[in-house]
Structure 1
Amino acid sequence: MAPPTGKRVKGVQIYRPFVYGTTAKPFDEKTNPKPPGVPDDHTHSWTVFVKGIDDVDITYWLRRVQFKLHESIPNHVRMIEGEKNKPFLLHETGWGEFEITIKLYYVPESSEKPQTLYHHLRLHPYGRTDEEKENMRLNGGQVLSWAYEEQLFNEPYEPFYEILTSGAMPPASSTPTTTKSGSKGGGGKSGKDKDQIKMIRSEGGVLERSAMIPLTNRPGQPFSRETEQVEIKKLREALVKVEELMDKTKEEVAGKERRLKELKADAGK
């Protein structure tokens, strides 16, 4: 961690969304053949990663990521350096599930200490219902165990604050739309063309260096405002059920208390 430079920007919190997790798939001769040299008892190939929401670049605030795997795996502590517009990831094979320790190292300008996440590697279909498990099987057996997270920077140092607030940019995968405008010089009529990037949130996507998340789900992008609203609806429905159960329980308790009072009254006669 670099020594602090400048002052902290008081009363400011800046967050950036990101995704981490694992993707696993069983070996299959047709769809996922086992590479040469892989041990016979290995049943799956899998990937662990940290990446930006909607695959946008996050290396402007995240410098490197350390993945600590099971000790039985050779070189079980891996450090992945950030490459612009690329996720932090590593590929492995294996047969068992275990907990992966993920340590985030921020850019030097942040002067922030590394933070640690924990993620359980999933190789086999899982879910709250049999339907959710079956959907994973129908998805070519690919098991996605992804988590949405928001990195919060509380009162960042001034240099890091400047980086975080330097302005949104079009995603690296898109072609920027530019317009040209004339800007007059100090004393003449001659103007100088200046390219200006037109920010467009195309197809509900996001802009890099922003805190946006996609408006709707797309293939390979399960986290969006649409997903958020679905989860909020589920929570509200669950809350209604909990309140109904609480009301029912209160009625049952009140009934038992009345019955107990009646029994005591009868016993005292």
Structure 2
Amino acid sequence: MVRSSDDNDANKSLAKKLKDAEISLPIVYGNIAFWLGKKASEYQSHRWTVYVRGATNEDLSVMVKRVVFQLHSSFNNPMRVVESPPFELSESGWGEFEIAITLHFHSDVSDKPLHLYHHLKLYPEDDSGSMSVKKPVVVESYDEVVFTEPSESLLVRVQNHPAVVAPRLPAGSLPPRILG
């Protein structure tokens, strides 16, 4: 395929970084755990899911390529890679431990992964001493991942995505050229 100089100029413009602009990705990461009841095995007393999702449960795959969950070394295959949404992992066990969560972004978003840490919580905080099979334990953290100076192409791609907070553009337009 032969490209005209106009095509090359358009490609350069799409790869151009936007100074003084930023894209924010609000995320929630955490776990939900269910006690399996008195008949459960002592080593499999809970079923739990650890996750990373949009702040109001949106699909993050517009920005996130994959998520790696590093479980306790006592698990078979403790490093788990989730390549597509939902970015979550379910297991069963009896103990609480720290889970390292690494977000890998698409190449036009960032070449640096983001490392998060979450303490898996299985048991309720209150001292009543009674666990219920009906009431799960939920522990979540909210954060906003901010990407500075995004490319024009990334901004166009995520412009109307519900998981992403990006500067709004007029319909059908690219951001204005920033002279530097």
TM bucket, shorter chain: 0.7 to 0.9
What does the per-residue CA deviation read over 1:100-123, in whole Å, with 9 as the maximum and x for residues that have no partner? Answer: 000001112224311100000001
Match of 1:211 in 2: 165
Match of 1:43 in 2: 45
Unaligned runs of 5+ in 1: 169-207, 213-269
Bigger relative contact order, structure 1 or 2, given CA contacts below 8 A and separation 6+?
2
Using the TM superposition, give the Cα deviation of residue 6 of structure 1 relative to its aligned residue in structure 2, in angstroms. Answer: 2.3
TM-score (norm 2): 0.74
The percent identity for this pair of structures is: 36
Higher CA-based Rg: 1
> Are 1:149 and 2:143 an aligned pair?
yes
Match of 1:119 in 2: 118
- CA RMSD in angstroms, aligned pairs only: 2.5
Tell me if the contact between 1:111 and 1:157 (Cα under 8 Å) persists in the aligned partners. no
CA pair 17-139 structure 1, distance change in 2 beyond 3 A: farther
Amino acid in structure 2 at the alignment position of 1:9: L
Q: d(CA) in 2 for partners of 1:28 and 1:138? A: 7
What does the per-residue CA deviation read over 1:140-170, in whole Å, with 9 as the maximum and x for residues that have no partner? Answer: 24110111111111111232222222x24xx
Q: d(CA) in 1 for partners of 2:138 and 2:68? A: 21
In structure 1, the residue corresponding to 2:15 is in which secondary structure? coil
Match of 1:91 in 2: 90
Q: d(CA) in 2 for partners of 1:145 and 1:209? A: 21
TM-score (norm 1): 0.51
> Are 1:76 and 2:78 an aligned pair?
yes
The answer to which structure has the higher strand fraction is: 2
Q: d(CA) in 2 for partners of 1:120 and 1:157? A: 35
What does the per-residue CA deviation read over 1:207-261, in whole Å, with 9 as the maximum and x for residues that have no partner? Answer: x24439xxxxxxxxxxxxxxxxxxxxxxxxxxxxxxxxxxxxxxxxxxxxxxxxx
The answer to which structure has the higher helix fraction is: 1
Q: d(CA) in 1 for partners of 2:101 and 2:68? A: 6
Tell me if the contact between 1:125 and 1:141 (Cα under 8 Å) persists in the aligned partners. no
The number of residues matched between the two structures is 152
Runs of 4+ in 1 over 3 A off after TM superposition: 136-139, 209-212
